[in-house]
Structure 1
Amino acid sequence: MTDAQVWAIILALPILIAQALYLFIDARKRGRFPWLWGLWGLIHAPLPLIVYYFTVRRTGRRT
């Protein structure tokens, strides 16, 4: 493993963990499958945030 790969992993881990925590906490507050969102946020970035915004956050708004 090269130094660049190690640094990429070191930089990606906090981003993924922060995203997963945000999705889990916000989905739990809204009652919308928190474990699903948290796990999906832990293995992908940034697609879960985009999908979460349009499926959970945006549908809860009043027009």
Structure 2
Amino acid sequence: MDDIKIVTLAAAALLLLCQSTWLYTDSRHRSRYPWLWAIWGLIQFPMPLIFYWFIVRIKKCK
């Protein structure tokens, strides 16, 4: 693997880890299935974040 692929892979892993951590901590604070959001956040980006925003965060405000 060349250097660009390694950097891209490391950046993607860091992005998924940060997203998953944020989803876990915020959903745990709101008591909304934290492990589900964390695992889904580790698998893909950005759909879990978008769905979390619309399902949990906006629904909570109403």
Question: What is the TM-score normalised by the length of structure 2?
Answer: 0.90
Aligned to 1:42: 42
| Count of paired positions | 62
Aligned to 1:32: 32
**TM-aligned CA deviation for residue 3 of structure 1:** 3.1
Q: Is 2:42 the partner of 1:59? A: no
Aligned to 1:10: 10
Percent identity for Structure 1 against Structure 2 = 42
SS at match of 1:45: coil
Name the structure where helix makes up a greater proportion of residues: 2
Matches of 1:7 and 1:21, distance apart in 2: 21
Matches of 2:43 and 2:32, distance apart in 1: 19
**TM-aligned CA deviation for residue 13 of structure 1:** 1.1
Structure 2 regions of 5+ residues with no counterpart? none
Structure 1 regions of 5+ residues with no counterpart? none
Cα deviation per residue 1:8-35 (whole Å; 9 max; x = unaligned)? 1111111111100000000001010000
